[in-house]
Structure 1
Amino acid sequence: MNGRVMIEAAEWVERLDAASDDSTRAQFDHWHAQPGHKVAYETVVDAREASTALADHPDMLALRHATVARVALARAPRAPRRTAPWLLAAAACAAVVAPLAWLRLADDGAPASRIASAPIYRTATGQRLMVTLTDGSRLTLDTDSRVRVAYSDSERRLVLERGQALFEVAKHQPRPFVVVAGSHAVTAHGTAFDVRLDPGTVQVALVEGLVSVATSQGQARPVKMVPDDVLTASATGISVRHVPGMALALSSWSEGRLVFEDTSLRHAVAEMNRYGTPQIAIADAGAGAVRISGSFRTGDVQPFLDALELGFPVTVDRRADGRITIATKKYR
């Protein structure tokens, strides 16, 4: 369905709510009579109702977020016209967990910020979710991830509480864009970067633009990154690698792909397992140490296993109960 027509349909829903005079109704009837417009209008009305009736359903949550993102991205960068507030809020209200009166962020020693409600966007295992935020920035969540949005008048602040997310920051905004992950804060202006939070480790991959990464302790100067830098921070310190193409590879999950470049099979299997069942086990150290390269769809296990059997010195044991085990191939 044409994205422009969907935007017009959303605006008509709002206009009809705000005014019901004869002139407005006549304009709507003319618009509504054109090919495809009736279906678009009914789709938007149904989505509006579903945002309340089915707010907690995970499949509808993902669908609404993706729809809102596509509609917002289709809008040309001109003088802002009001998109229906309920349309932008529909995705948010479905993902809001308990309201939070106080939010403390351990990034720079700033005082706690009082907020009436802090929306939380989250995904279940195997899900991917794209959200367009109120300033036009885009947030994409990976499998089993959770991000809290706490925008204020002075800054655009988000907290990655679990998992991984790609942030594409709207340009030409006066407020800084800050992502907090663990004890580290990433500050960016008009850029794209990927942040992953694992137990004890934060990884930042810069796709484009410039960012700086600071710790909550403030013991060291912020680390400035350039495109293709990958920063890894842990209790032992911070390291930065610069490898052309690595940032894009690390963020390829946002397009539903996992890219492995001379990666150990143990690591590759762990990444595939993040996206759901069936889970894969490694039987021995030799199989886990095999180095592989390739691009695979997230959650699509069978092509991954077929490629291993065809091109690598391993065997794949698929059991009737669904368990899958990879072992070193034994030659006679």
Structure 2
Amino acid sequence: MIGPHQGEAVMIEAAEWAERLDDDPSDATRVRFEDWRAHAGHEAAFAAVAEARTMSAALADHPEMLALRHATVARIALAREPRRAAPWMLAAAACAAVVAPIAWLRLADDATTTGQAAQIAEAPVYRTATGQRLMVTLTDGSRLTLDTDSRVRIAYSDAERRLVLERGQALFEVAKHQRRPFVVTAGSQSVTAHGTAFDIRLDPGAVRVALVEGLVSVASKGGHAKPVAMVPDDVLTASAGGVSLRHVPGIALALSSWSEGRLVFEDTTLRHAVAEMNRYGTPRIALADTQAGDVRISGSFRTGEIQPFLDALQMGFPVTVARSADGITIATKK
């Protein structure tokens, strides 16, 4: 007999397999799926998921159903416990793998009246809590992945596919060969893309765009400057001080690695690494002194997994780690 916790885990696996088969219907994927389905309870779980997906598709254009499905999926994602894998090493940093919670959601276009432009203020909003990731598949085939503590407003219309990043960070994988332009607004910047993948992060006073593949153009809202054309591995940063563009091979994948539950640091200050780790949950990590913050580290860590990060620091870097009721403090080793 399958217990309640096992049953929930099997249902989540069934939903993941349904998405995986949509994305990669190859023979190899099908063989792995059949192996999974052969276990007790798995076939029934997959049948239930398939039935739910069929019903969901039939009701996809109901705004109330969209909101209900989003709320339900978000609660399931927040309730999931991470699954652990074996520790491993990268650049003198010991890392343990844990799968961060991810939710998949089918989203219908929110334009319900032909010829009527979407109203941004009334468009559906998708958000994540601290430590959560959320994957949204749009009906045009585009995919949106939200990072921790992020919020995106969807405002598709007959004229364009518009999204507004209102907080946090998101990865946009844009479906190719579409008539309507795909436009993402974040802060003072507007990014237009066709069949591409790019990462946008909205920080207080700054917007960062990293292009993974394809081509995009970035323009300042209300400005008269010529839009900036980006190529893969370009990173554009816009702030009150102006717009900067740099090109570093491999940087876009590193900056968007959070979408796979990883944070990649390459010769990064511990100050920056701690700030990134703190975005994904508690207990909070603090630096006791400037010297500790200036230590440079390299490594790959799972988001939300603080202990492997601390273990790696103590094993390979000149710092000490102390725990207290207020959290964790890292100091320079005396």
Task: Give the TM-score range, shorter chain.
Answer: 0.7 to 0.9
Partner Cα distance (1:194, 1:158) in 2: 13
Q: For residue 209 of structure 1, what is the aligned residue in structure 2?
A: 214
Using the aligned pairs only, state the percent identity: 69
Cα contact 1:5–1:40 (8 A) shared by 2? no
Cα contact 2:292–2:331 (8 A) shared by 1? yes
Partner Cα distance (2:126, 2:254) in 1: 24
For residues 215-250 of structure 1, give each alpha carbon's deviation from its aligned partner in whole angstroms, at most 9, with x where no partner exists: 012221001110000000000100011000001000
RMSD over aligned CA atoms reads: 3.1
Cα distance, 1:277–1:226 mapped onto 2, change above 3 Å = same
For residues 61-107 of structure 1, give each alpha carbon's deviation from its aligned partner in whole angstroms, at most 9, with x where no partner exists: 67898344xxxxxxxxxxxxxxxxxx655xx99xxxxxxxxxxxxxx
Q: CA deviation at 1:174?
A: 1.1
Partner Cα distance (2:133, 2:183) in 1: 22
Partner Cα distance (2:227, 2:126) in 1: 28
| Residues 1:131 and 2:168 are matched in the alignment | no
Q: For residue 22 of structure 1, what is the aligned residue in structure 2?
A: none
Cα contact 2:104–2:134 (8 A) shared by 1? no
Q: For residue 60 of structure 1, what is the aligned residue in structure 2?
A: 76
Cα distance, 1:61–1:88 mapped onto 2, change above 3 Å = farther
Q: For residue 114 of structure 2, what is the aligned residue in structure 1?
A: none
Amino acid at match of 1:3: A
Amino acid at match of 1:188: A
Q: For residue 42 of structure 1, what is the aligned residue in structure 2?
A: 48
Cα contact 2:313–2:319 (8 A) shared by 1? yes
| Higher RCO (C-alpha 8 Å, min separation 6) | 2
Cα distance, 1:219–1:52 mapped onto 2, change above 3 Å = closer
Aligned runs of 1:237-252 on 2, under 5 Å? 237-252=242-257
| Residues 1:3 and 2:8 are matched in the alignment | no
Q: What is the aligned length?
A: 265
For residues 142-179 of structure 1, give each alpha carbon's deviation from its aligned partner in whole angstroms, at most 9, with x where no partner exists: 00000000011111100000000000000000111100
Aligned runs of 1:1-332 on 2, under 5 Å? 1=14, 3=18, 38-44=44-50, 56-57=71-72, 58-60=74-76, 66-68=103-105, 88=107, 114=119, 117-319=122-324, 321=325, 323-330=327-334
Cα contact 2:119–2:155 (8 A) shared by 1? no
Cα contact 1:6–1:41 (8 A) shared by 2? no
Q: For residue 97 of structure 2, what is the aligned residue in structure 1?
A: none
Q: When the two structures are superposed, what TM-score results if normalisation uses the length of structure 1?
A: 0.72
**Unpaired runs of at least 5, structure 2:** 1-13, 23-40, 57-64, 81-100, 111-116
Secondary structure of the residue aligned to 1:66 is strand
Amino acid at match of 1:245: G
Cα distance, 1:4–1:205 mapped onto 2, change above 3 Å = closer
For residues 93-149 of structure 1, give each alpha carbon's deviation from its aligned partner in whole angstroms, at most 9, with x where no partner exists: 9xxxxxxxxxxxxxxxxxx85469411110000000101012110000000000000
Partner Cα distance (1:216, 1:117) in 2: 21
Cα contact 1:318–1:324 (8 A) shared by 2? yes
Q: When the two structures are superposed, what TM-score results if normalisation uses the length of structure 2?
A: 0.72
Cα contact 2:18–2:50 (8 A) shared by 1? no
Secondary structure of the residue aligned to 1:308 is helix
Cα contact 1:55–1:61 (8 A) shared by 2? no
Partner Cα distance (2:104, 2:172) in 1: 18
